[in-house]
């Protein structure tokens, strides 16, 4: 994860191997849904492709901004949901369809979350009072 620390609002990039679904990021109970995140292809030839159009098992860069949290060390949980937000039927049907194709089983039956550490730093105070 780059950077692994920052003030609220800092853009963080996290390399994700085999990200297959619609990610959500959770930090200290604050959840950032798919629409608040940005996905980029990890390969130079796919950097300009929109996140939802990337190959489903392609390695990706997940970007998000550090939420407004008090300073401290936090666990970042990346949920790799198997379907679009609010579509549990789609998720179930998609996962069921892949069961008929054994080569993808390692991607379907793996844990659907990853974890990383993030240090939130205190906001930088401006020196406007020293005039």
pLDDT tens-digit series, residues 71-96: 999 999 998 776 666 777 766 776 67
pLDDT tens-digit series, residues 64-76: 999 999 999 999 9
Region 14-39 average pLDDT: 86
| Closest to 77 (Cα-Cα) out of 17, 14, 11 | 14
Kindly report the pTM of this predicted structure.
0.75
Distance of alpha carbon 3 from alpha carbon 103, whole angstroms: 35
Sheet with 5-6, strands from edge to edge, namely 5-6, 113-120, 72-81, 22-27, 30-32
């Amino acid at each position: 994860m780059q950077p692994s620390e920052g003030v609220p609002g800092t853009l963080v990039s996290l390399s994700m191997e085999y990200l297959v679904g619609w990610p959500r990021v959770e930090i200290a109970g604050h959840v950032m849904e798919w629409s608040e995140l940005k996905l980029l292809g990890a390969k130079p030839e796919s950097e300009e492709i929109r996140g939802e159009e990337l190959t489903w098992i392609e390695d990706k860069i997940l970007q998000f901004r550090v939420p407004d949290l008090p300073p401290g060390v936090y666990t970042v949980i990346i949920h790799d949901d198997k379907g679009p937000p609010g579509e549990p039927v789609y998720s179930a049907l998609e996962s069921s369809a892949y069961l008929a194709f054994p080569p993808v089983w390692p991607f379907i039956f793996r844990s659907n979350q990853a974890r990383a550490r993030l240090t939130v730093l205190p906001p930088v105070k401006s020196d406007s009072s020293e005039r």
